[in-house]
Structure 1
Amino acid sequence: MHRILAEHTVSMTELRKNPAQYFTDEPIAVLSNNKPAGYMLSASLFEAMIDLLEKQQANQQFTAKFRPTAEQLKAIALHGQALIEQATDEDLSEFSE
């Protein structure tokens, strides 16, 4: 049994069809072979999570090493969407269901 830390899930097959729709203000678990492979979330939610981690761990001197802006995250997401749309089944063979 695998731990899924989201109320909603999407398969890799469905994700490939329109990845941008899964960048929401709630995490969405991405499943590969019915196992969580990762999570999709909006830039604002990701930023809020990093801010919360930094506040909670201020005494431990935690600093996020990956701090892109919302614009950079959008560009990364669009680039990822383009790569997924252009990928062949062979390219994505390790993510088959």
Structure 2
Amino acid sequence: MSSGHLNAQYNLRLPDDLKQKIAHSSKELNRSMNADIVARLEESFEQKSFNKLDEVPLEELLAVVMKKLGRNSLSLTREEIARAKEFSKKREKT
């Protein structure tokens, strides 16, 4: 979280189910709902780096891919495999 003072106020309306998710998250992380919202917003503005993927265990990467694709749709087309191979070659050159 940024070190600046929280001095701007904004009245926010959000769906009840989202509020419940925030309440649950903030309780698990032992922080206020406001702190949880601010932390999530700040994180969303941080630039994501794919350079550190090499440091992530393969099992974790596969779990994310499986979740994104859906458990029953792990078949890839030849075109998708070719694009993945080309992307891999480009990464090796850099």
The TM-score normalised by the length of structure 2 is: 0.30
- Rg bigger for which structure? 2
Higher helix share: 2
User: Does 1 or 2 have the higher relative contact order (CA < 8 Å, sep 6+)?
Assistant: 1
The TM-score normalised by the length of structure 1 is: 0.30
Higher strand share: 1
